[in-house]
Amino acid sequence: MSEVKQLIAAINDFREAREWRQFHNPKDLALSLSLESAELLETFQWKTSQEALATNQQAMKEELADVLIYALMLADDLSLDVTTIIQEKLDQNNMKYPVKKSTGKKDKYTTLE
Amino acid sequence: MSEVKQLIAAINDFREAREWRQFHNPKDLALSLSLESAELLETFQWKTSQEALATNQQAMKEELADVLIYALMLADDLSLDVTTIIQEKLDQNNMKYPVKKSTGKKDKYTTLE
Amino acid sequence: MSEVKQLIAAINDFREAREWRQFHNPKDLALSLSLESAELLETFQWKTSQEALATNQQAMKEELADVLIYALMLADDLSLDVTTIIQEKLDQNNMKYPVKKSTGKKDKYTTLE
Amino acid sequence: MSEVKQLIAAINDFREAREWRQFHNPKDLALSLSLESAELLETFQWKTSQEALATNQQAMKEELADVLIYALMLADDLSLDVTTIIQEKLDQNNMKYPVKKSTGKKDKYTTLE
């Protein structure tokens, strides 16, 4: 079993042992993912990256794990293969952000010249 | 190379080809992860899960991929191993949400009796 | 003094008494506003609107107040008049969502026919 | 009629003219408020406050207006008076953050000494 499939299996074991699948509709999973990413962002509130890293690394690690856990549950419930959708998105971004036009620029593709 | 390491390598190739690492400080990566998770959530706005799945599956797939890409970049930049932090978080949740107390309940661990 | 100006004055007194203006750059205020709106949204996590209202009204009230406080601080620091920007946005939305085309529809203006 | 009540009346006219109240349950309003605050935050992505102000002031103004519009709709639908809940929250914060302990500090009240 691949690394990602093993992680998803462990996460599914966790939620099934608690009979939580009944609550896990895609809308509330997406909502929860958004809440966890806010909690991750909170570790940087009023701080530079450096200040945040100096004090909040443990919380960062835990909140990033929560983000990944919700993202993997949602992918699994939508029958999406994580490796496939990432590769497809990179291919798509490759066309939206051609190396020639976007090197060293932080513009959105809609405003790239 | 493991599946996750291969994904991270592909993502790093993408941002390095465009010289984007100079913009990728952890605070702005966490901020971007939060924006992408909002775009994912937007596919469910004013809709039930079912309605959203009927009309927005392509957008859902793309936004979830963006969330995962930012989460993997941030993990890599913070030198965090994805499999390790997920397993540690599941272990931690195992203690916060004992099967006996939390089965079939959607309460936060702080209010579990 | 108008109602909104009085609220802003009370909020400014609060932050000035604590010498917090030094931390209140617009980027961190916008970030904080986003965190508070996530905390408000959390009162609805895993719940229908009705279930949330039955149990979390006190938290809802407090989080909505936090959202408003950050929004008013940001408006004030950007020298934006709340009444003016709301009226301008309603005028703009009036053109983006003509009554004839948008009545009873939840589509985004980009997909209105 | 007070300034805030006039704003709410204008917003209610707008949504009633389009028969949108049927979509406006509190959960989706809170979700939408969170999406709009992400769009506001996006105007600061990859930028310092100064860089964002130099290029994105128009977008900032519009997104902040959207945040305020959703916040006012939600307050009105929950029968909450904006001035009252802000004043109550300031009183509450006054006790959580005593001037003596919190002056010049950006710590959360839970970690104030």
Q: Could you say which of A23, A35, A44 has the minimum Cβ distance to residue C42?
A: A35
Averaged pLDDT of chain B: 95
Which of A26, C67, A83 shows the shortest CA–CA distance to B60? A26
Q: Summarize pLDDT for B65-105 with one digit per residue, the tens.
A: 999 999 999 999 999 999 999 999 999 999 999 999 999 99
What count of CB pairs under 8 Å joins C to D?
A: 185
The tens digit of pLDDT for each residue in D58-75 reads 999 999 999 999 999 999
Q: Residues A90, B11: contact at Cβ < 8 Å? A: yes
Give the C-alpha separation, D53 to D50, whole Å. 5
- Which class is C3-80 in CATH? mainly alpha
CA of C48: which chain B residue's CA is closest?
B48
**Tokens at B1, concatenated:** 């190379």
Confidence bin at D113 (pLDDT 50/70/90): low
Q: Is A41 helix (H, G, I), strand (E, B) or coil?
A: helix
Residue D13, min C-alpha distance to chain C (Å):
10
**C75 exposed, middle or buried (CB, 10 Å; 0-12, 13-18, 19+)?**
buried
pLDDT at C72 over 80: yes
Question: If you average pLDDT over residues C28-55, what whole number do you get?
Answer: 98
Query: Is C11 within 8 Å of C73 (Cβ atoms)?
Result: yes
Taking 90 as the threshold, does the pLDDT of residue D94 lie above it?
A: yes
- pLDDT beyond 70 at B113: no
Report the candidate in B28, B65, B19, D56 with the shortest Cα–Cα distance to residue A102: B19
Give CA A67 to chain center in angstroms: 5
Distance from CA of C68 to the nearest CA of D (A): 7
What is the structure's pLDDT at C78?
98
Q: How much is the pLDDT for B46?
A: 96
Measured on CA atoms in the order C7, C11, C14, C19, is the torsion positive or negative?
Answer: negative
In the structure encoding, which two tokens stand for residue C93, read together?
Answer: 């939305």
Per-residue pLDDT of chain A (113 residues; tens, 9 = 90+): 899 999 999 999 999 999 999 999 999 999 999 999 999 999 999 999 999 999 999 999 999 999 999 999 999 999 999 999 999 999 999 999 999 999 999 888 887 76
Query: How confident is the model at residue B13, as a pLDDT?
Result: 97
Q: Identify residue D61 by its one-letter amino acid code.
A: K
Contact assessment for residue D110 and residue D61, using Cβ atoms and an 8 Å cutoff: no
Three-class SS state of A1: coil
Residue C112 predicted with pLDDT over 80: no
Tokens representing D7?
């704003």
- Predicted confidence at residue D112, as pLDDT, reads 76
- What's the pLDDT at C80? 98
CA nearest to D73, candidates D19, D7, D18, D22:
D7
Specify the pLDDT at position A113.
65
Q: What are phi and psi of B98, to 5 degrees?
A: -60, 140
Percent above pLDDT 70 for chain B: 99
C17-31 pLDDT tens trace: 999 999 999 999 999
How far C110 CA sits from the closest chain D CA (Å)? 16
Of D34, D46, D47, nearest to A34 by CB-CB distance is D34
- Residue A28 with chain C: CB contacts under 8 Å: 45-46
The predicted structure's pLDDT at residue C113: 66
Q: Looking at the partner chain, which of A40, A83, A92 has a beta carbon nearest the beta carbon of B33?
A: A40
Exposed/middle/buried for D113, CB within 10 Å: 0-12, 13-18, 19+?
Answer: exposed
Question: What residue type is assigned to position A70 of the chain?
Answer: Y
Q: Is the confidence at residue B9, as pLDDT, over 90?
A: yes
Which pLDDT value is given to residue C107? 84
Q: How distant is the Cα of D28 from the closest Cα of chain C, in angstroms?
A: 8
Q: Which of A31, A47, A106 sits opposite D31 (nearest CB)?
A: A31
The span from the first CA to the last CA of chain D, in angstroms, equals 45
**Mutant choice from B33, B34, B56, B111 vs C, greatest count of C C-beta within 10 A:** B34
